[in-house]
Structure 1
Amino acid sequence: MDEIFLRTNEDILVKASKYKQQSSTISLIRIEELHTLLGLIIFSGAMGNNDLPNRELFDPTLCGSKDIATMSLERFEFLLRCLHIDDRSTRENRRQNDKFEPIRNIWEIFIQRCRDLYKPCAYINIDEQLLAFRGRCPFRMYIPNKPAKYGIKIVLACDVNSKYMFDSCPYLGKNAETAPAELLGTHYCKLITKTIYGSNRNVTADNWFTSVPLAEQLLEDPINLIFTGTIKANKKEIPSEFKHNPSRRVGTSMFGFHTKLTLVSFKPESQKNSSSVVYFAQ
């Protein structure tokens, strides 16, 4: 909040200097008012009003009087235009080395709080989420089979019991400068589980993350994590016997063992072209 407060007031000074007359509408923001502004944004989302025009949100005959009781419509719109979280004067230079640089400082502060203030249970789920967004963003993605289609892809580590997100990182694309030489799924899985290394917790993920090398790496010191995940049947590590067989009886399972790893293939339906494969690291 202190960082947002500082950067927002910097932008207010720039925009207010262009007005001929000074007024309370374009005055500097106070920290209490910043809390109020963010509270209004969160409240409108919780009430399902975030798609309404601002003039309707501040009309007491339509959405009640909570918004208009906190600040005027003109002040609300002015603060939204000035709301900033980084130093605009150095943004372009910093962005050349990192697409996420304009928001990275605030993001790291927030995620570190999520890590420090919560102790996850023994079972962790790793997955990805597409946050709907159609604005300008160098790493905005288009995924046609998602409800939103356009958005920012975030990789999450969540507690299975409480659904609390205790770690996360943005997906910046395959060609990002920070992209590693290893598989992207492996990289992101290891990255957002660093805070639970050595805890022997159980990590579950889908086939975008799962691979045999990942399962083997998570088992070794100093990581020491148990991994469970679905794996694509076309992976070279999957024996041909575990792949689709029309003559195989529905509801049957096949097990394969190698050192500390267990492979399970289950056939749910006769119409399926490939079996459902699950990879366990024990």
Structure 2
Amino acid sequence: MSHNRFLLLMRTIRFDDINSRSERSKYDNIAPTRELFESFIAKCRANYQVGENVTIDEMLESFRERCKFRMYIANKPVKYGIKVYALCDSKNFYTSILEIYPGKQPNGAHKYDNTASAVGKRLSQDTLNTGRTITADNYFTSIPLADEMTLRKNNREIPPFFLDIKQRPKPSSIFGFHKSKVLVSYVQNKKNKKNVLMISTLHNDDQIDPTTRTNAKPEIITFL
């Protein structure tokens, strides 16, 4: 196929009924691609069952055209684009569920909570209570969301002494236990002063991974 032929097809191909789009757009910011996108996700969910370890994360898909929910995020490699949340298999990176961040939706069937907690619950609806482990980064900070996740340091549920690393030996780990949850604060060495905080409901001890040798990393951190 020639380049010009490809561009012609791109200009003329349509997956949406233009006659009803303006009416649907009154209630849905992503009305032009809603049907196609949801059909694709349904096929992803129906044709593969994710393994025992999955991840939830966000990404910015490059896009600079006109779009009311296009975002600018300065610290991303691609600074302009559309934010997409995803749940993927940790082993083979298969994408099971995607959700587009649509900005502030008009009142209607597609207006829903876009907080990190709510997004995490929607993405993990097929995974929770199935014995799988869900790992997420520090954007998703709610403890009930996943079996294992990284916490933000300003989370008010973290005891202050887990955050003070000035007087601590390096490397060192502090563990906190509460019912079915374990919180760990890990500092690696004097040169790397980063405080790694993670909480897990999969683990129930303070084991150190022997393969990390002098770094003495907790198994909660090296699990995946």
CA distance in structure 2 between the aligned counterparts of 1:228 and 1:119, rounded to whole angstroms: 20
Helix, strand or coil at the partner of 2:55: strand
Residues 1:176 and 2:82 aligned together:
no
Residue in 1 that maps onto 2:31? 101
Higher relative contact order (CA closer than 8 Å, sequence separation 6+): 2
Q: Is the 8 A contact 1:156 1:169 kept in 2?
A: yes
Measured on the aligned residues, the alpha-carbon RMSD in Å equals 1.9
Residue in 2 that maps onto 1:156? 86
CA distance in structure 1 between the aligned counterparts of 2:189 and 2:79, rounded to whole angstroms: 30
1:197 to 105, 128, 138: 128
Q: Percent identity?
A: 34
Residue in 2 that maps onto 1:137? 67
Q: TM-score, normalization: structure 1?
A: 0.66
The AA in structure 1 aligned to 2:105 is A
Helix, strand or coil at the partner of 1:145: coil
Task: Pick the structure with more helix per residue.
Answer: 1
Look at both structures and tell me which one has the larger radius of gyration over its CA atoms.
1
Task: Pick the structure with more strand per residue.
Answer: 2
Runs of 5+ unmatched residues, structure 2: 203-224
Could you report, residue by residue, the CA deviation over 1:69-120 in whole angstroms, capped at 9, with x for unpaired residues? xxx83x5433222111111122122112111121111111100000000011
Q: 1:270 to 1:179 in 2, by over 3 A?
A: farther
Q: Is the 8 A contact 2:187 2:193 kept in 1?
A: no
Helix, strand or coil at the partner of 1:250: coil
CA distance in structure 2 between the aligned counterparts of 1:259 and 1:155, rounded to whole angstroms: 30
Could you report, residue by residue, the CA deviation over 1:234-261 in whole angstroms, capped at 9, with x for unpaired residues? 1110001101231111111001111111
The AA in structure 2 aligned to 1:247 is Q
Residues 1:259 and 2:179 aligned together:
yes
CA distance in structure 1 between the aligned counterparts of 2:155 and 2:191, rounded to whole angstroms: 21
Q: 1:264 to 1:78 in 2, by over 3 A?
A: same
Residue in 2 that maps onto 1:110? 40
Q: TM-score, normalization: structure 2?
A: 0.82
Residue in 2 that maps onto 1:244? 164
Runs of 5+ unmatched residues, structure 1: 1-66, 219-226
1:271 Cα shift?
Answer: 5.8
Q: Is the 8 A contact 2:55 2:136 kept in 1?
A: yes
1:207 to 106, 120, 138: 138
The AA in structure 2 aligned to 1:82 is T
Residue in 2 that maps onto 1:44? none
1:176 Cα shift?
Answer: 3.4
> What is the number of equivalent residue pairs in this alignment?
198
Helix, strand or coil at the partner of 2:74: coil
Residues 1:83 and 2:13 aligned together:
yes
